[in-house]
Amino acid sequence: MEGEVLGTLMAILASLSWATAAVLYRKALMRFSNPLITNGLRVPLAILTLLLIAFVMTGAEPIIYLLTHTDVLLLVFVATLIANVVGDTLYLVAIRNVGVSTGYPLSYTYPLMVAVLAAVFLREHIYLSLIAGTAIAILGVWLLSQKPSGNNESEIGRYSFAAGVVAALGASLSWSVAIVVLKVVVMGADPIAAAIFKLIFILVLVSPVMLVKHEEVRRNVDKRTLMFAMAGGIFGIGVGDWFLYVSLKMIGAARAAALTTSAPLLSLILAVLILKERVVVRQVFGTVLVVTGVLMVVLKPF
């Protein structure tokens, strides 16, 4: 029972961390619009934060375990490539193009895709609420995908709205595939060690682009942009992802993913309060439908 409660709490904390990160990323992208480089800028401080937590809580043993089990480490690398290079870059494109209040809820349809992938590849039972929840979530996605008649953020207007929507759904698919892989990883490895190596792999994969574009980074990335990107990394791919991995280990992929659906609602609130994004009734209703549909799919089968 304690594991159930802790796993639930970790999923909720992951949601809050990711919602906070979304606002910080948006702040960074308003000043420097290259999402792939921003993906790399957010990593270093997140690594240091998790290393500090790891050595205080568990010592070096979990890290040594992964270093000596290359098969598990390879799975972490694959999940990182799919989720944090492809998926997160698409996610940053989405919130750059369409803002947090639309891009974030669309990206966070991933629990629905996790359920679908589990049914197709793991031969899990397809139940009535899966069909009903899918229909409701798709309606919510459609509402969120309609271009607003007017948006008070002039920066959004410079980019393709349709491309932002496609990027958000691409991020959702990438994350769902990676969650299935990470569920296998955390059954044998410590979640914080997996999170640390994931960050190291992100830095390795993105570093060549950052080196090629170093002049662009030097000219355009000021201290404020770097601060927002790194702070977002601590909450998003640092402690936020660690919370998710703990939850995956304790209550399983479907329930952990479902509980993180509170993140779009939190991001919607933060987008209004902090970023001053204009949110219309359609966006609120679409977000509620997406969350409702996802919860129907993965929490209460009937």
Helix 281-298 and helix 262-273, axial crossing angle in degrees, nearest 10: 160
Q: What is the pLDDT of residues 243-276, one digit of tens each?
A: 999 999 888 887 788 778 767 667 777 777 877 7
87 neighbors 175 (Cβ within 8 angstroms): yes
- The band of 300, judged by pLDDT with boundaries at 50, 70 and 90, is low
* pLDDT, average across residues 186-201: 93
Q: What is the pLDDT of residues 215-224, one digit of tens each?
A: 888 888 888 8
Cβ-based neighbour number of residue 177 at 10 Å: 20
- The band of 294, judged by pLDDT with boundaries at 50, 70 and 90, is confident
Q: What is the pLDDT of residues 137-190, one digit of tens each?
A: 878 877 876 666 554 444 555 668 889 999 999 999 999 999 989 988 998 899
Return the pLDDT at 215. 85
Helix (H, G, I), strand (E, B) or coil at 159: coil
